[in-house]
Structure 1
Amino acid sequence: MKDGMFVFDAAIHVQDFTDRQIKQGDSSGRVGILRNQLTGFIDLTARKGPPANTGFHTPPDVDWAHSTLFEKSDTDLAMACSVPLFSHWKAGLGPVELSYELCKRDPKRILLTGGVDPAYHGLDFALREMERQVKEWGAVSMKFYQYQQRGCSWRADDRDIAYPLWEKAIELGLKMVQFHKGFPLELGPVEAFQPNDIQYAAADFPELNFGIHHLGDPYVGETISIASRFENVYLVLPLWFNQYFLQPRKMLHRLGECLLYVGEDRICYGSEAFIWPHIQTYIDAWANMEMPEELQDHYGYPELTRSIKEKIFGLNFANGLGIDVAAKKVELGVAA
């Protein structure tokens, strides 16, 4: 708890960028390109913000990760998100198996977001794997990366390849599916990461929530517009917090537009640990953040009240997943 506010981190990762994970035949050098992209972005955020984990390419030690989350920060609950990118990585860039191992360390506090890719592995396999991850590993959500490589991508509004996934998610009792949008990885075309395909999916499956990560940057305006019109679209803000220290004014504008057009009930905090391990810094920053009066006066952005902070800290994401926060507090033994 942070000053009595329940903290649910929507995005932590157990990544594995090591050489042992690289598939043979990476003649294009795209693994190196991706590593350089990540390193460059990390170096940018570190200019004014908390430093990143210098060993970010290696899976973190499970005990260290648990201590970083729950002993060195005020985090109450966290979501371990897999990164199902398979084109150049044997088990995916963030293997779901490693996320599950972290979840086993403390299953009450660390929840699993699984991941599959119906274009890369085939729809039938993806559906079976979704069911296995939910029933065997207890996954409570799924996260999707919809572009693997040239000729291997898919859309969330594709009735043949995507809609069976959403039907399966509902059948399995999942309340939310999540998407990496924006921030193209390696040489993938930027338009492959647009959020536009979420619209029909959200309209056709109103009983399912759709989480969009990273505000779809560079398609921030489109992402906010979509979330403003579809009440089952949630905005998950990992990287926003990491960028805040580098570009506070820009990030406050983005947050202000989210609050102005989408409202305070579907915006969610995420730290991007363990690439950025100084989790408490982000928690403290959000707890103490203010919307400058100038931005309120000139743009109509709302004041950052305690109620807004509490919702974004964890209540919104829990609600989107169908988690009873009061019951979870009792389970975890944290203050009511």
Structure 2
Amino acid sequence: MTTASRSTLRSNVHLLEPKAAAAISGGKAWESLPDDLFVIDGVAHTYHFAESNHVPGSYAKIFVNALWGIHEFYSPRADKKWLLDPKLRGMQDVELIAHSLFSESTIDACVYHSLPIYSLFKDGGGPMHIGQQMRERWPGRVILYAGMSPYRPDALEELDRLIEEEKASAIKFYPLDLVGGQVRGIRLDDEKFMFPLYERMLKKGIKTVAMHKAIAFGPLGHEFFEMRDIGPAATSFPGLNFEIFHGGFAFLEDTALQATYNANVTINLEGTSALIFYAPRKLAEILGALMMVGAAERIVWGTGVPVIHPQPFLEAFWNFQIPEDMQEGYGFPALTPAIKRAMLGGTQARILGLDTAKLRQQAQGDEFSRRTTLAAPWSRGGSQS
């Protein structure tokens, strides 16, 4: 928080169904987020999925409908106000995403991810310029991750451009790409395509490699969403941090093994965090398994906003508990306030070398630091341009 106390901000979230609230909080009293907590949402997207942006002849429409269905399935079912209006699924709007994060939620900063899905969407589906506009308008609140494909013939030149011109803090990759009409897999330990990019990143001072994992895109290439390629890459490049997204959603045991033996592997909870309402014990199992191997301070909170509004998930996580029977029966550690603080911002700040005090200072005085009440969800509407 910057100016207004969190306790003075109107909260709608704990008006959950009693059973859901009890499952998340372990039957303990629901607590508001502390005033001194600096929250960084580790993943924020803009989905430019309007039909005018679809690549002709592609399966873009199928992809959009599937993604929307996933978001709707995992949203807080007790209150539909948190789910974005389907008419805005093609949104391309700086105001909508920024206000959902900083005006309608108690999030202080975010990591904006551009999307390189050029086989389906003309601009990749989540263009970098939206994040750039956010960073320019609200200094101290937006960090940029740039998505790219290693199969580009000019991959090294594109990497340089993203770092030098776009000022990206990390480079994001995806397990599959469509190259010449064929599905091609991407492995982190690929010495031909990936290792030269890692070497260039280190030379340019970029130390985080981000990779989508665990949640497959469809019936093809499941092996590229597994974890076995992480270890060789992390071992070969100990100076890089490998941030794995959707960690634990699938392949939990392998994810825990990678975290056990590679101290430079970080797990981002985007997607996984959505389990908090639908399957809280599953989320407890994931967090417990990762914490049990010593990775508690290498877990990053992320929601993937928009579509799923960040605020209910944020407040629910602050009140989340590893059930006592799972602590006793599986040996899972307790999810303490100190660990939650790390997951909700401390770890992201550490791996990116961010000074949260400086970020607070940069954001001081902007329109969001002066808020005294949370705006209604999705209050800024949106554009499908």
* TM-score, length-scaled by structure 1: 0.91
What aligned pairs does 1:214-229 form with structure 2 within 5 A after superposition?
Answer: 214-215=246-247, 217-229=249-261
Counterpart code for 1:222: D
**From 342, 346, 355, the counterpart of 1:315:** 346
CA shift for structure 1 position 113: 0.6
Which residue of the other structure, out of 98, 115, 138, is the alignment partner of 1:83? 115
Is 1:101 matched with 2:133? Answer: yes
- Which of 41, 55, 67 in structure 2 is aligned with 1:23? 55
Aligned pairs, number: 328
Counterpart in 1 of 2:64?
A: 35
- In structure 2, relative to structure 1, the CA distance for the partners of 1:210 and 1:59 (3 Å cut) is same
Quick one: which of 143, 155, 162 aligns to 2:172?
A: 143
2:330 equivalent to 1:299 = yes
Describe the superposition over 1:169-226 as per-residue Cα deviations: whole angstroms up to 9, x where unpaired.
1112112110111211144321121222121111111111010000163222212211
SS of the residue corresponding to residue 265 of structure 1 reads helix
Match of 1:325?
Answer: 356
Residue 314 of structure 2 is matched in structure 1 by 283
AA in 2 matched with 1:179: M
The whole-number CA distance in structure 1 between the counterparts of 2:294 and 2:127 is: 33
1:71 shift after superposition: 1.8
Match of 2:300 in 1: 268
Superposed CA deviations along residues 292-324 of structure 1, whole A, max 9, x for unmatched, are 111111111111211101100100011111222
Partner in structure 2 of residue 53 of structure 1: 84
- Aligned partners of 1:180, 1:243: CA distance in 2, in Å? 17
Superposed displacement of residue 47, structure 1: 6.1
User: Relative CO higher for 1 or 2, CA cutoff 8 Å, sep ≥ 6?
Assistant: 2
- After superposition, give the CA deviation of every residue in 1:126-152 in whole Å (9 maximum; x if it has no partner): 221222122222211111113113342
| CA RMSD after TM alignment | 2.0
Secondary structure at the residue paired with 2:297?
A: coil
- Quote the residue 1:177 is aligned against: 209
Which of 251, 256, 268 lines up with 2:288 in the alignment? Answer: 256
The answer on whether the counterparts of 2:141 and 2:359 sit within 8 Å (CA) in structure 1 is no
If you compute each CA radius of gyration, which structure gives the higher value, 1 or 2? 2
Match of 1:197 among 216, 226, 229: 229
Deviates more, 1:39-48 or 1:231-240: 39-48
The TM-score with structure 2 as length reference comes to: 0.80
**Residues 305 and 217 (structure 1 numbering): CA distance in 2 closer, same or farther, change over 3 Å?**
closer
| Distance in structure 1 (CA, Å) of the matches to 2:126 and 2:145 | 11
Q: Which amino acid aligns with 1:72?
A: E
SS of the aligned residue for 1:118 comes to coil
**Aligned partners of 1:65 and 1:37: how far apart in 2?**
21
Give the residue type in structure 2 aligned to 1:144.
Answer: F
* Unaligned residue ranges in structure 1 (runs of 5+): none
